């Protein structure tokens, strides 16, 4: 038997992002990534690109020399799966160069 977990809405994810932004920038970057995925999957490309840009801006402040530096802390945010590593290369691969 599988358990189906409800995926958080964009509004719920954004509320979490706002809380994290004040206390944990890495968690906020992970949430921004999840918001980019939610908007991309719903076909809202402008909103998805904006969340990609937000995620990239947040990631600029972190080291990225080692795999440990860019490893995500969570496997998902609000039911949205996260990649194992979060850095500009992964984001551009998943969302395109023009993000």
Higher pLDDT, 7 or 14: 14
Which stretches of the chain are DSSP H helices? 10-23, 25-41, 45-59, 67-70, 88-95
pLDDT of residue 6: 81
Determine contact, residues 50/99, Cβ cutoff 8 Å: no
Whether residue 81 is predicted with pLDDT greater than 80 in this model: the reply is: yes
Whether residue 99 is predicted with pLDDT greater than 70 in this model: the reply is: no
Q: Where does the pLDDT of residue 60 fall: very low under 50, low under 70, confident under 90, or very high at 90 and above? A: very high
Candidates 20, 29, 14, 23; CA nearest to 61 is: 29
Of the listed ranges 5-14, 32-41, 77-86, the one predicted with least confidence: 5-14
- Measured CA to CA, the distance from residue 74 to residue 97 in angstroms comes to 25
Q: What is the mean pLDDT of residues 31-50?
A: 97
Specify the pTM. 0.91
Whether residue 53 is predicted with pLDDT greater than 80 in this model: the reply is: yes
Determine contact, residues 85/97, Cβ cutoff 8 Å: no
């Amino acid at each position: 038997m599988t358990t189906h977990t409800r995926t958080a809405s964009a509004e719920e994810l954004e509320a979490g992002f706002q809380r994290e932004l004040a206390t944990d920038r890495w968690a906020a970057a992970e949430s921004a990534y999840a918001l980019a995925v939610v908007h991309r999957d719903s076909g809202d490309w402008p909103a998805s690109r904006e969340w990609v840009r937000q995620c990239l801006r947040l990631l600029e402040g972190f080291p990225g020399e080692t795999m440990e530096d860019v490893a995500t802390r969570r496997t998902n945010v609000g039911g949205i799966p996260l990649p194992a590593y979060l850095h500009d290369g992964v984001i551009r691969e998943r969302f395109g160069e023009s993000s």
